[in-house]
């Protein structure tokens, strides 16, 4: 049953939109690249939150540019 849910057209469309917005999201997040050493768990969590916020902004910018509400 979970395979059917994973293959639903709505989920596929949302995933495609997510991927389409990823370059803008990453640019808006402004996160630097790790330089030779891994990030700590707290740093990873913080970066994840930053990306979530940047994704919301990217999605809103795309909606505004496309004339949506």
Range of the domain at 60: 2-28+39-65
Instruction: State residue 33's pLDDT score.
Output: 87
pLDDT, tens digit (0-9, with 9 covering 90-100), for 4-54? 555 799 999 999 999 999 999 999 999 988 888 999 999 999 999 999 999
Q: Does the residue 57 lie in any domain?
A: yes
Instruction: State residue 64's pLDDT score.
Output: 94
Mutual angle of helices 9-29 and 41-65, in 10-degree steps: 110
pTM of the predicted model, to two decimals? Answer: 0.77
Q: Does the residue 16 lie in any domain?
A: yes
Q: Does the residue 33 lie in any domain?
A: no
Is the Cβ–Cβ distance between 25 and 54 less than 8 Å? yes
Q: How many domains does the chain have?
A: 1
Q: Distance between CA 42 and CA 34 in Å, rounded?
A: 14
Instruction: State residue 51's pLDDT score.
Output: 97
């Amino acid at each position: 049953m979970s395979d059917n849910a994973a293959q639903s057209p709505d989920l596929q469309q949302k995933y495609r939109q997510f991927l389409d917005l990823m370059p803008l999201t990453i640019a808006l997040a402004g996160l630097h690249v790790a330089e030779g050493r891994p990030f700590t768990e707290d740093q990873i969590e913080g970066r994840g939150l930053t990306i979530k916020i940047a994704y919301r902004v990217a999605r809103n910018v795309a909606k505004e540019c496309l004339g949506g509400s």
